[in-house]
């Protein structure tokens, strides 16, 4: 009996502590809400300035164990080209369970103290009613966020299944689960999650039924803000299958795709190094197996401060373009202006004298593997003095050296062209004969123009450049002579003449 009273006393005491703590943290959250919204708006402006939207918190009601308020997503006053029209808003209803032990957390047996647990649900209005319709009346997504006392957050995003079919068009989505974790300032961020499948049926401009589907999308990675004020880290995205069909006939099937991007500060703490790895395990076009491919691209020695300055300048120029309707609504003009904006910041990007490496870009089929490797060492053009008088002097202002090599096995190329010919309607025997002729012709033409050589049953090209001199397949020449090899007919100093050695015969297969 005594033990029972002791236990009861402990429960009462814990209840008093919990109630007092919940009330305190509820007030604390109310006081910090404006700050949190301000930080969110800063992140939107920084990471997606073209959206031209901002958040505002309204209708805060504090209770003992929970509070509620709404977050409105509205267009920035005076902005244009936003995905929300003036007067429209997307409304999120927020239910906040107070700490130190939020009720929502206790349901999942999470006993770690937290300032609050927030449940976010999209409100059905004129802007979002289309999403609710394809989600069969349910909210298209749900968000549950844990807020720690230090301001760190962990958000679980649940995408509900979607299904819509009308007027010959269909959208189907299995739903997905993603987790986003961030520190109190939103600098250190981790994202992971997956979606099982998705499908879109539509009609193209020729009246044909087109279907796009995917299976097993996954992502996992983390990033942080470096001392250059730029985001560094890595992110991996994988997709088991992507299929494209027209009129119920499969046109393309891509399987086993992975993309990994990584950016990190160099040991000298002055530069950034980036690497992109891409792999495709299988590509089939109309049932024909075209092989697999991979790419590793590295860019090193990027001056961190210059990169940050270039990013800010480029973003400012792009925002200015988006604010001009005559440019933003004209894709060709926008692309032209965006290219000019990139060229404007190019000298800043070259300040650290970066190194570009492709090692390798390759494609493989049942008969072999073709590969391309490249190393390009660049210079800071602003360090050059004087006015360039020749083409070589102009190139040498930005290029320190180049080294590249291309290898294409004849058997691999013949197999590739055989598959392409079969796609064009040729039968196997005729496709092989045509492919054999095409590859032999390509090899002979490459040798005739001294662009390629033939060695070990492979087409080879080797190209190096440094200090105004080009070495092509072992033959050294000035840059001007190399460029002249590709001039118009009658102006081609590199074309064979009476003194040019005979082109070696291509061995018969």
Q: What is the 3-state secondary structure (H, E, C) of 11-45?
A: HHHHHHHHHHHHHHHHHHHHHHHHHHHHHHHHHHH
| 8 A C-beta contact, residue 297 and residue 357 | yes
Contact partners, residue 209, CB within 8 Å, separation at least 6:
168, 201, 202, 203, 246, 247, 248
3-state helix, strand, coil in the chain (%, to 5): 30, 40, 30
Rounded Cα distance between 259 and 238, Å, is 6
Task: Supply the pLDDT for residue 289.
Answer: 93
Percent residues over pLDDT 70 in the chain: 86
Please give the pLDDT value at position 365: 96
Query: Alpha-carbon distance 4 to 413, whole Å?
Result: 84
Asked whether 93 and 123 are in contact (CB, 8 A), the reply is yes
| Distance in angstroms (rounded) separating the CA atoms of residues 356 and 353 | 10
- The span from the CA of 469 to the CA of 227, in Å, is 40
Closest CA to 83 of 331, 330, 328, 314: 328
User: Which residues in the chain land under pLDDT 50?
Assistant: 1-3, 488-509
Joined tokens for residue 221: 């990675």
Question: Coil, helix or strand for 353?
Answer: coil
Strands 271-285 and 249-265, sheet pairing: antiparallel
What is the predicted pLDDT for the residue at 493? 40
b/e sequence 147-181, b meaning 16+ C-beta within 10 Å: bbeebbbbbbbebbbbebeeeeeeebbbbbebebb
Q: How far is CA 365 from the centre of its chain?
A: 27
Mean pLDDT of the chain: 85
Yes or no: say if 394 and 388 are a contact pair by the CB < 8 Å rule.
yes
C-alpha distance from residue 138 to each of 134, 141, 159, 162, 232 (Å): 9, 8, 11, 9, 37
Half-sphere CA count of 272, side-chain side, radius 13 A: 24
Domain ranges of the chain: 1-160, 374-484
Longest Cα–Cα distance of the chain, Å, equals 116
The β-bridge partners of 201 are 170, 211
Residues 6 or more apart in contact with residue 20 via CB below 8 angstroms: none
Q: Residues 6 or more apart from 385 whose CB is under 8 A from it?
A: none
**Would you state the pLDDT for residue 186?**
78
Is-above-0.95 flag for pTM? no
pLDDT of the residue at 406? 97
Give the pairing of strands 90-98 and 66-75: antiparallel
Q: CA 153, 146, 21: angle at the middle one, nearest 5?
A: 115
**Token pair for 21:** 């703590």
Cβ(40)–Cβ(54) under 8 Å? no
Q: What's the pLDDT at 93?
A: 92
Kindly report whether the peptide bond that precedes residue 360 is cis, defined as omega within 30 degrees of 0: yes
């Amino acid at each position: 009996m005594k033990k029972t009273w002791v236990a009861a006393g402990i429960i009462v005491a814990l209840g008093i502590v919990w109630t007092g703590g919940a009330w305190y943290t509820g007030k604390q959250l109310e006081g910090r809400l404006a700050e949190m919204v301000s930080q969110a708006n800063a992140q939107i402006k920084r990471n997606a300035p073209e959206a031209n939207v901002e958040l505002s918190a309204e209708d805060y009601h504090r209770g003992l164990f929970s509070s509620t308020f709404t977050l409105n997503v509205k267009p920035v006053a005076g902005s244009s080209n936003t995905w929300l029209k003036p007067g429209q808003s997307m409304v999120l209803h927020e239910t906040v369970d107070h700490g130190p032990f939020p009720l929502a957390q206790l349901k999942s047996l999470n006993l770690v103290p937290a300032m609050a647990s927030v449940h976010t649900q999209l409100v059905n209005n004129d802007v979002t009613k289309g999403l609710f319709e394809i989600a069969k009346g349910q909210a298209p997504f749900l968000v549950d966020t844990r807020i720690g006392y230090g301001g760190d957050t962990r958000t679980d995003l649940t995408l509900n299944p979607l299904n819509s079919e009308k007027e010959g068009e269909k959208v189907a989505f299995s739903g997905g689960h993603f987790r986003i974790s961030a520190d109190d300032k939103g600098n250190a961020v981790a994202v992971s999650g997956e979606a099982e499948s998705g499908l879109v049926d539509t009609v193209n401009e020729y009246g044909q039924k087109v279907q796009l589907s995917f299976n097993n999308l996954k992502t996992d990675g983390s990033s942080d803000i470096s001392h250059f004020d730029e985001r560094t880290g890595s992110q991996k995205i994988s997709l088991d299958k992507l299929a494209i069909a027209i009129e119920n006939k499969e046109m393309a099937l891509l399987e086993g795709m992975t993309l990994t991007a990584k950016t990190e500060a160099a040991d000298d703490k002055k530069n950034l190094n980036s690497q992109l790895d891409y792999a495709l395990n299988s590509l089939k076009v109309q049932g024909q197996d075209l092989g697999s491919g991979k790419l590793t691209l590295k860019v090193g020695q990027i001056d961190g401060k210059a990169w940050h300055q270039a990013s800010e300048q480029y973003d400012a120029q792009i925002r200015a373009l988006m604010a001009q309707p005559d440019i933003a609504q004209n894709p060709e003009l926008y692309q032209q202006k965006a290219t000019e904006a990139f060229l404007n910041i190019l000298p800043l990007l070259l300040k650290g004298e970066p190194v570009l490496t492709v090692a390798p870009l390759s494609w493989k089929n049942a008969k072999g593997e073709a590969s391309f490797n490249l190393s390009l060492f660049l210079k800071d053009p602003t360090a050059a003095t004087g006015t360039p008088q020749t083409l070589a002097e102009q190139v040498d202002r930005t290029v320190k050296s180049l080294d590249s090599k291309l290898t294409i096995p004849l058997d691999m190329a013949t197999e590739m062209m055989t598959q392409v010919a079969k796609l064009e309607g040729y039968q196997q025997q005729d496709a092989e004969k045509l492919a054999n002729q095409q590859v032999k012709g390509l090899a002979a033409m490459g040798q005739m123009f001294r662009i390629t050589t033939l060695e070990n049953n492979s087409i080879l090209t080797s190209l190096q450049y440094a200090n105004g001199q080009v070495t092509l397949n072992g033959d050294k020449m000035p840059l001007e002579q190399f460029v002249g090899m590709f001039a118009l007919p009658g102006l081609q100093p590199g074309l064979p003449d009476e003194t040019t050695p005979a082109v070696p015969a291509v061995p018969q297969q």
